[in-house]
Amino acid sequence: MTKPLAAGVARTIQTRLVLPPDTNHMGTIFGGTVLAYIDEIAAITAMRHSGKAVVTASIDTVNFLSSAKVGDILILEGVVISTGRTSMEVYVKAECQQIETGTRSLTTTAILTMVAVDSDGKPTPVSGVVPETAAEEKLFKSAQDRKERRMKVNEYAKELC
């Protein structure tokens, strides 16, 4: 394993235009469309960090805070906030920018766990991450709590099957 990487090394930003096929009968973007964008940017961010292919292990939290409508610009940003031996937690935020005013508003936040895999699809080690901002540091320090919560949810899910 190599030395830890600064969070900014893999930071990824995507910009998308909200088009009519992306929206529901209310004229706002489908939550599922936003989730697909979030999963994609998390994967790209994790691949950039690890230098490996990745798979999505979990989507821990998704918070839909406001919506975007046709014609708005959606700006997504992903950053690795913590790592395990083969896994990476990626924080993604989506902001909506109105074309006419340039005003931005936070629409969605999410935390996903991505696992690096080798050519056989087996988990493979990843470098650690060094937070660079106060927000990244806060998310980094709370990673163990999120991991424990994921493990409990997995236990409950197995009991239900």
Span 130-143, pLDDT tens digits: 999 999 999 999 99
How confident is the model at residue 152, as a pLDDT?
A: 87
Helix (H) / strand (E) element for 106: namely strand 104-117
SS3 148: helix
5-160: CATH superfamily: Hotdog Thioesterase (3.10.129.10)
- The region, left, alpha or beta by phi > 0 then psi within -120 to 50, assigned to residue 51 is left
Residue 160 pLDDT greater than 90, yes or no: no
For the chain, the farthest-separated pair of C-alpha atoms sits apart, in whole angstroms, at 51
**1 pLDDT tier (thresholds 50, 70, 90):** low
SS3 80: strand
Span 107-131, pLDDT tens digits: 999 999 999 999 999 999 999 999 9
Residue 72 near residue 15, CB atoms below 8 Å:
no
Helix 134-141 / helix 143-160 crossing angle, nearest 10 deg:
50
Q: How many whole angstroms separate alpha carbon 117 and alpha carbon 134?
A: 30
Rounded to 5 degrees, φ, ψ at 71 are: 95, -15
